[in-house]
Protein backbone atom coordinates (compact mmCIF):
# COMPACT_ATOMS: atom_id res chain seq x y z
CA UNK A 1 0.00 0.00 0.00
CA UNK A 2 1.63 3.19 -1.18
CA UNK A 3 1.90 6.12 1.10
CA UNK A 4 0.02 9.13 -0.11
CA UNK A 5 1.42 11.92 1.91
CA UNK A 6 -0.44 14.55 0.00
CA UNK A 7 -3.88 13.60 1.26
CA UNK A 8 -2.97 12.58 4.77
CA UNK A 9 -2.33 14.60 7.82
CA UNK A 10 -0.60 13.68 11.00
CA UNK A 11 -2.37 13.92 14.32
CA UNK A 12 -1.43 13.07 17.88
CA UNK A 13 -3.81 10.98 19.92
CA UNK A 14 -3.51 10.31 23.60
CA UNK A 15 -4.05 7.05 25.36
CA UNK A 16 -3.39 6.47 29.06
CA UNK A 17 -0.99 9.36 29.13
CA UNK A 18 0.90 8.14 26.09
CA UNK A 19 0.92 10.15 22.93
CA UNK A 20 0.78 8.38 19.62
CA UNK A 21 1.47 10.05 16.33
CA UNK A 22 -0.75 8.66 13.63
CA UNK A 23 -2.04 9.61 10.22
CA UNK A 24 -5.56 10.50 9.24
CA UNK A 25 -6.46 9.92 5.65
CA UNK A 26 -8.47 12.16 3.37
CA UNK A 27 -11.73 10.60 4.51
CA UNK A 28 -11.00 11.11 8.17
CA UNK A 29 -10.02 7.52 8.96
CA UNK A 30 -7.23 6.88 11.40
CA UNK A 31 -4.47 4.80 9.86
CA UNK A 32 -2.63 2.09 11.74
CA UNK A 33 1.08 2.90 11.44
CA UNK A 34 1.91 -0.79 11.61
CA UNK A 35 -0.36 -2.40 9.05
CA UNK A 36 -2.32 0.36 7.37
CA UNK A 37 -5.75 -0.67 8.66
CA UNK A 38 -8.30 2.12 8.87
CA UNK A 39 -10.38 3.08 11.88
CA UNK A 40 -13.16 5.56 12.36
CA UNK A 41 -12.12 6.61 15.83
CA UNK A 42 -8.82 7.06 17.64
CA UNK A 43 -10.07 4.76 20.36
CA UNK A 44 -10.56 1.90 17.93
CA UNK A 45 -7.12 2.48 16.51
CA UNK A 46 -5.53 2.50 19.95
CA UNK A 47 -7.09 -0.83 20.87
CA UNK A 48 -5.91 -2.22 17.56
CA UNK A 49 -2.35 -1.00 18.15
CA UNK A 50 -2.42 -2.60 21.58
CA UNK A 51 -3.31 -5.83 19.80
CA UNK A 52 -0.15 -5.45 17.73
CA UNK A 53 1.88 -4.82 20.87
CA UNK A 54 0.51 -7.97 22.45
CA UNK A 55 1.31 -9.98 19.37
CA UNK A 56 -2.28 -10.82 18.63
CA UNK A 57 -3.32 -11.74 15.12
CA UNK A 58 -4.83 -8.99 13.05
CA UNK A 59 -8.13 -8.01 14.62
CA UNK A 60 -9.36 -5.42 12.25
CA UNK A 61 -13.00 -5.94 13.22
CA UNK A 62 -15.45 -3.85 11.25
CA UNK A 63 -12.92 -1.41 10.00
CA UNK A 64 -13.75 0.34 6.76
CA UNK A 65 -11.83 -0.98 3.82
CA UNK A 66 -10.59 0.85 0.83
CA UNK A 67 -13.26 1.08 -1.85
- Judged by beta carbon, residue 35 or residue 50, the one nearer Zn ion is 35
18: CB partners within 8 A, 6+ apart: none
CA 35 to chain centre: 8
- 32 HSE (CA, 13 A, CB side): 23
CB of 56 to Zn ion, least distance (A): 10
In the region spanning residues 18 to 47, those forming contacts with Zn ion, defined by CB under 5 A, are: 32, 34-35, 37
CA-CA distance, 23 to 28, in Å (whole number)?
Answer: 9
Decide: is 11 part of the binding site for Zn ion (CB under 5 A): no
Cβ proximity to Zn ion, 24 vs 32, nearer residue: 32
- Interface positions with Zn ion (CB under 5 A): 32, 34-35, 37
Amino acid sequence: MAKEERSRKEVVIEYSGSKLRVEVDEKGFYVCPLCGALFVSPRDLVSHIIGHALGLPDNRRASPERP
